[in-house]
Structure 1
Amino acid sequence: MDRWIHLERVSSKERGIFCYYAKGGGWDHRGYYAACHLLRDVEEQQTVQIDKRLVDTLYLIQAWCRVNKRPYIIKINSGFRTLAHNARLKNSARNSQHTQGTAADIRIDGMSTQELAAIARSIGVGGVGVYPSANFVHVDVGRVRNWIG
C-alpha cells in the first residue's frame, strides 16, 4: 500500500499531503524530501535527511487516527534542530534526538496530548514525552522511554 501523509508546520504555516513510499517502488524521493522540508529547522533554515523511521512513525500515528475515525492532521512544532538552535533552547537535552533528525514535537488538533501519547506508545515509538501545558507530544525513534515535561 502507498503511504500518504498529511503534515502541517505550525511556525511557517506550510502544509503538505504527499506519498513518501510507493508500494512496489519503495521510497518516493519527492515525498520523502517534502517531509524532510516540513521537519527542517525553520529558525536556521536548514533541511537534513530525516530518519526514515521517524517519517514512518508519523505515518503510523496518522494511519491509526484515520482507521479509528479520529482527527489525523499532524501539526509539527519542531523537527530537526541544528546544534546551535538546540543550545539556545532553555530546557532542551544536550544530546537531543532533534539534532539527529530522529525526533518531532507534534500535536493533532481535537486530540489531547495524553491521547496522542497513548497512540504513539501503542505503535511502538521509542521516546514519548508529553508536554500538556505546551500542548505537544515529543516522539522519537531512540530507545523506549516515557516522560512528562
Structure 2
Amino acid sequence: MGTDDRAAPMNGRATGRRGFLTFAAATLTAMAVPAVIPAAPAMAAPLAGGVRRIALHNVNTNEHFSGVYWADGAYKADALRKLDVLLRDHRAKQVCRFDPRLFDLLARVHQAVDSDEPFRIICGYRSKRTNAVARRRSRGVAKQSYHTRGMAVDVRLPDVELGAIADAAMELELGGVGYYPRSGFVHLDVGPVRSW
C-alpha cells in the first residue's frame, strides 16, 4: 500500500473525481455527529482548565489539527468531525466516529509528559478490510482491534521517549497501552485497562 493509496489532502487538492467523491461521502458521514456531546463525568475533572486542546499530525496524510475539542462542559462537534476525518483510514478512504474519551486520554498523556510537540499519528481508524490486511502482515494485530471501533491510535512524540509516553499512559489507567519500540510508536486505546 504505497503513497498512491493516500486520500486527497484536506487542503482541497483532489486526486481525481472518484477519490474526491469517496472522500466527500466519508466526510458527510462524519458530519452526522450531534451538535453538542455531553462530557463524560469521569473524564472531565482531572484535566486542567475550562477548555481541552489537542494537537495531532497525521504522518500518513501530512494533515494537522490543533485546537479546542472540549469547552463549556461539552465536546465540540465541529472539532470532533475534523478529528474523525484526520484519523480516517486513508487507505480505504473511510471515516469513523471516534470515541471522544480517546482525545481526553491523549490530552492527559500530553500534559503528563510535558511535550511541546503535536502527537504524530501513525495509525488511527482501520476499516475491517485494512485491519485484515494488517493481520496478514503482522501477528501483533488483533482481529477485533480497537482501531476498527474508533477507540485507538498509535502515536509518538518527537520530543519525548516512547517509554515515557507508555509509562504516563499506564499510570493513568484509562485503557490499553502497547509499547512498540522497534516500530517506533505507542498504542493507546480506551478499552479495558491493560498493557503489553
CA contact (8 A) 2:56 2:119 kept: yes
1:62-93 per-residue CA deviation (whole Å, 9 max, x = no partner) reads 22233xxx344111100110000000012211
Deviation at 1:55, TM superposition (A): 1.5
1:84 correspondence with 2:129: yes
Give the counterpart letter for 1:135 in structure 2.
G
Give the counterpart letter for 1:76 in structure 2.
I
* Higher percent of residues as strand: 1
Q: Structure 2 unaligned runs (5+)?
A: 1-49
What is the aligned-residue identity percentage? Answer: 34
Give the counterpart letter for 2:166 in structure 1.
A
1:93-121 per-residue CA deviation (whole Å, 9 max, x = no partner) reads 11111111111000001222111100111
CA distance in 2, matches of 1:73, 1:20: 14
CA distance in 2, matches of 1:139, 1:130: 9
Task: Output the TM-score relative to the length of structure 1.
Answer: 0.90
CA distance in 2, matches of 1:49, 1:102: 9
Give the counterpart letter for 1:123 in structure 2.
L
Structure 2 partner of 1:31: 79
Deviation at 1:124, TM superposition (A): 2.0
Q: Which moved more, 1:76-85 or 1:119-128?
A: 119-128
SS of the equivalent of 1:105 reads strand
CA distance in 2, matches of 1:65, 1:6: 14
CA contact (8 A) 2:113 2:164 kept: no
1:63 correspondence with 2:115: no
Structure 1 partner of 2:11: none
Structure 1 partner of 2:17: none
CA distance in 1, matches of 2:109, 2:161: 14
CA distance in 2, matches of 1:13, 1:131: 22
CA contact (8 A) 1:40 1:80 kept: yes
Structure 2 partner of 1:73: 118
Give the counterpart letter for 2:53 in structure 1.
W
Larger Rg: 2
CA distance in 1, matches of 2:190, 2:97: 14
CA RMSD across the alignment: 1.3
CA contact (8 A) 2:55 2:64 kept: yes
CA contact (8 A) 2:113 2:165 kept: no
Structure 2 partner of 1:42: 90
1:111 correspondence with 2:160: yes
Task: Output the TM-score relative to the length of structure 2.
Answer: 0.69
Give the counterpart letter for 2:57 in structure 1.
E
